[in-house]
Amino acid sequence: MKLIEVGSKLTNLKEKKMKTQKVWFITGASRGFGLEIARAALAAGDRVVATVRQKPAQLTATLDNHANLYVVQMDVTQEDQVQAAVKQGIARFGRVDILVNNAGFGMVGAIEEITDAEVRKQYDTNVFGLLNVTRAVLPYLRQQKSGRVINISSLFGYDAIPGWGLYGSTKFAVEGISKGLAAELAPLGIQVTVVAPGLFSTDFLSTESYVAAKTIIDDYQETVGLMRSGADALHRNQPGDPKKFAQVIIQLANTERPPLHLPVGKDTIAMYQNNVAKMAQEIEAWLPVATSTDHDQRIAA
């Protein structure tokens, strides 16, 4: 009788674990944040669909051929590939609980220096790619009436500095898209968080993760030029630990009431606070002008 009771308890525990096991869909998982989030999710006992643009076997090996890992080759800018990858992930694990839109790359250059083709490539990945993946996953989350969308933004999505203005504009877009999604999806049981990391010692400043505008205008040497020359020196010397960032994402995924906005890193907090303070000062200084545009008398209907 005791053995039966013990067996029953073990079965219940196993069923409970199965019920709480989550399925992640992570883009840009070959390195950096994506890789660390995938590794942390697997360590937490969850299942992971990890997408990469190339060499899926390499990621599988990096993550030790984990039984709960399914690697799919996918370019976020190719909508047909995105749709196919999501269907493959669903076929493999039966559902998706957490979408992490992480794929993206940086671009340094003055806004005047960056060509139309370079701008479009930046937006195709960082903004339109995010939208492609989100549109592909949301029908499944809506059907489940549950799920999380975690969009990776940046401290440059809070304010701009020379050389990173165009890249930052893609992250401003991610912030706005996330806010709109949150309002639309909340009644459907789907939660959205946009996470803005600061500078972390990932491969973001490697030649594989960011590009410099090909055009160089001498007038920007004292501003943007410093950013171009400083990127290599900063690479791998950033203050943030990507493994700790991944643990923040794991905690976020297991929080009952996650925040809509989550800045991560002391530098991100400082960027946000400085921007808010500057905006508040500007608005206060121009308040009489800003509030002077109403009709003197209400127009009759």
Instruction: Give the residue numbers spanning the domain of 51.
Output: 13-267
Q: What is the residue type of 36?
A: E
pLDDT at residue 232 is higher than 80: no
140 a catalytic residue = no
Q: Exactly one of 70, 167, 210, 220 is catalytic; which is it?
A: 167
Catalytic residue (one of 70, 140, 153, 220): 153
Residue 207 has pLDDT above 60, yes or no: no
| Domain assignment present for 1 | no
Q: Find the mean pLDDT for residues 102-126.
A: 96
Average of per-residue pLDDT across 130-153: 98
Question: What pLDDT is recorded for position 3?
Answer: 53
Decide if 118 is inside a domain: yes
pTM: 0.88
Could you give the number of structural domains in the chain? Answer: 1
Residue 151 lies in a domain: yes
pLDDT confidence band for 275 (50 / 70 / 90) = very high
179 within some domain: yes
Residue 199: φ, ψ to 5° = -85, 115
| Residue 290 included in any domain | no
How deeply is 271 buried, as exposed, middle or buried, from its count of CB atoms within 10 A (0-12, 13-18, 19+)? buried
| Span 282-299, pLDDT tens digits | 999 999 999 999 988 876
CATH code for the domain in which residue 228 is found? 3.40.50.720
- pLDDT tens digits, 39-93: 999 999 999 999 999 999 999 999 999 999 999 999 999 999 999 999 999 999 9
In 54-146, DSSP assigns E strands to 69-73, 98-101, 106-108
Is 272 a member of any domain?
no
Tell me what the mean pLDDT of segment 266-279 comes to.
95
The active-site residue, picked from 169, 171, 178, 220, is 171
Q: In what order do the strands lie in the sheet with 69-73?
A: 69-73, 47-52, 23-26, 98-101, 147-152, 190-197, 261-264
In this prediction, residue 228 carries a pLDDT of 83
In-domain check, residue 300: no
| Residue burial 151-169, b: 16+ Cβ < 10 Å; e: rest | bbbbbbbbbbebbbbbbbb
The answer to whether the CB of 236 falls within 8 A of the CB of 182 is no
Does residue 295 form part of some domain?
Answer: no
Q: Average per-residue pLDDT in the chain? A: 90
Model confidence over 9-34: pLDDT tens digits?
554 544 444 458 999 999 999 989 99
Q: Has 167 been annotated as catalytic?
A: yes
Which band of pLDDT confidence, cut at 50, 70 and 90, is reported for residue 240?
Answer: confident
| CA geometry: angle 230, 160, 213, nearest 5 deg | 50
What is the number of residues in the chain? Answer: 301
Question: Where residue 201 falls among pLDDT bands split at 50, 70, 90?
Answer: confident
Residue 171 annotated as catalytic: yes
The per-residue pLDDT for 4 is: 56
Mean pLDDT of 165-191: 98
Give the long-range contacts of residues 179-182, CB within 8 A, separation 24 or more. Answer: 179/260, 181/134, 181/149, 182/260
